[in-house]
Amino acid sequence: MGNGGMIRLRPKGQLLMVESVSSLLRAGLTLPEAFIGAAEIIDRTPGRVARAIHAELLGGVSLTAAVRAVIAVPDPFLLAMVKVTDETGAAAALLTLAEEHLRVRMNLSETAWTAAIYPVFVLALTILGALILALVVVPELGRFLTDSGLLEPDQVTRLVDSGARFIRILSAAIGGLGVVTGLVLLSRRMNASTSPIAGTIARLRFFVPVIGPLEMTRDLLAVAEATRGMVASGVSLDRALELAAECAGNPWVSSRLRVAVGRMRTGVAPAQAVRSALARHGFIARWLHQTESGADLAESLDAMARFLRDSQKRLVTRLGAVVEPTLVVVAGGFLLGTVFFLVRPLFQLYGLVMP
């Protein structure tokens, strides 16, 4: 449970609930009937969430208010579709779109985790083994050699110092990684439009090989699919982009899309507004430019979504090919550090004890 009686529902649980509700909506049920029907079909936390949302709807609140009152951290894409549902009433089409997007995102997460699980396990064992050597084996061996009189204390100092030096280097590396991770998480919680530091950190993430382009493609795909669904439901393009900006996980993308919406509302053409706001990432403006030449807006947005979906599949394939060898190389680096700082001095001491 979250604060104030809200329920923390994992992404997999949100997908299960939305999948059940959208299926019942397509079968002809009303929105409250679909949620209570989903509560009877599914169990555990997703069922409790569906039942709680049903109770909120019967109380006369909007679907947006119900979702926000029940789910502690609703998925941004789902929340955007819920808002448009309240505006247009096209619940079946919009929640089906949310279901499809949540499933794609779930598959992406599972693919990334599957590619990383084995090398992360190897890396963790390597670090654990190095720590055991540095904190337990090395000090105990030094104490044994000193107490037994085989070596003088000053002869053991180098061995102990090498272990301490290794711990300092390892701590600095882990600490640096922690600082970077903290800055990234902080940037996700800050508003990039009002915090230049957060916006800079968010944009720098795009320069990380493979992962950066994948994050950009993921966000632009979410925006494209959300905009397509909203426009097909009768929402204006500027309002659709305004709501779709909330679907982007990167705060820089969200803030720049809001800038584009502001320019559109001052009379700037949509393609030009998006291109100028997203700079070199504004290649998606080509599909909006087609609409200025008479192309159908919904068809252009659909073509944009297909292109980004194919790009995402290629990047996911590259991610799977890059993550595992990269983490194995990192684990090898830790192993070499262990050999250099800990194992090599052990052999040197062995040579002193057994001339």
C-alpha closest to that of 70 among 57, 81, 60: 57
The answer to whether residues 122 and 327 touch, using CB atoms and an 8 Å cutoff, is yes
Residue 217 has pLDDT above 80, yes or no: yes
Per the prediction, the chain carries an average pLDDT of: 79
Most confident of 45-49, 118-122, 292-296, 302-306: 45-49
Comparing 148-152, 219-223, 351-355, which segment has the lowest mean pLDDT?
A: 351-355
For residue 332, the model assigns a pLDDT of: 74
Structure tokens belonging to residue 268: 């700037």
CA atoms within 13 A on the CB side of 353: 16
- Would you kindly state where each structural domain of the chain is located, as residue ranges? 3-74, 105-355
Q: For residue 194, what pLDDT band results from cuts at 50, 70 and 90?
A: low
Q: Average pLDDT, stretch 345-352? A: 63
CA distances from 262 to 100, 329, 341 (A): 29, 47, 58
Residue 2 has pLDDT above 90, yes or no: no
* Cα–Cα distance measured from residue 261 to residue 317, given in angstroms and rounded to the nearest whole number: 33
For residue 23, the model assigns a pLDDT of: 92
Most confident of 3-12, 75-84, 135-144: 75-84
Model pTM above 0.75: no
Q: For residue 1, what pLDDT band results from cuts at 50, 70 and 90?
A: very low
Residue 69's CB is within 10 A of a number of other CB atoms, namely: 16
* Cα–Cα distance measured from residue 266 to residue 154, given in angstroms and rounded to the nearest whole number: 77
Beta-bridge mates of residue 71: 7
For residue 181, the model assigns a pLDDT of: 66
* Cα–Cα distance measured from residue 212 to residue 315, given in angstroms and rounded to the nearest whole number: 10
- What percentage of the chain exceeds 90 in pLDDT? 10
C-alpha closest to that of 46 among 37, 55, 38, 54: 38
The answer to whether residues 258 and 193 touch, using CB atoms and an 8 Å cutoff, is yes
For residue 3, the model assigns a pLDDT of: 47
C-alpha closest to that of 242 among 302, 193, 293: 193
Q: Average pLDDT, stretch 231-245? A: 86
For residue 128, the model assigns a pLDDT of: 78
For residue 150, the model assigns a pLDDT of: 65
* Cα–Cα distance measured from residue 36 to residue 25, given in angstroms and rounded to the nearest whole number: 12
Report the Cα–Cα distance between both ends of the chain, in Å, rounded. Answer: 66
Higher model confidence: residue 275 or residue 166?
Answer: 275
Comparing 190-194, 203-207, 265-269, which segment has the lowest mean pLDDT?
A: 190-194
294: three-class secondary structure by DSSP: coil
Structure tokens belonging to residue 59: 């109380």
For residue 109, the model assigns a pLDDT of: 75
Structure tokens belonging to residue 174: 């882990």
pLDDT tens digits for range 249-297: 788 888 888 888 999 899 888 888 888 888 766 667 777 777 777 778 8
Residue 321 has pLDDT above 90, yes or no: no
Beta-bridge mates of residue 7: 71
Cβ neighbours of residue 33 closer than 8 Å, sequence gap 6 or more? 24
For residue 17, the model assigns a pLDDT of: 92
For residue 155, the model assigns a pLDDT of: 63
Residue 144 has pLDDT above 60, yes or no: yes
Comparing 14-28, 160-174, 210-224, which segment has the lowest mean pLDDT?
A: 160-174
Structure tokens belonging to residue 105: 């995102």
Residue 38 has pLDDT above 70, yes or no: yes
Beta-bridge mates of residue 130: none
For residue 6, the model assigns a pLDDT of: 81
Q: Average pLDDT, stretch 30-44? A: 89
C-alpha closest to that of 78 among 61, 96, 60, 62: 96
CA atoms within 13 A on the CB side of 315: 20
Q: For residue 24, what pLDDT band results from cuts at 50, 70 and 90?
A: very high
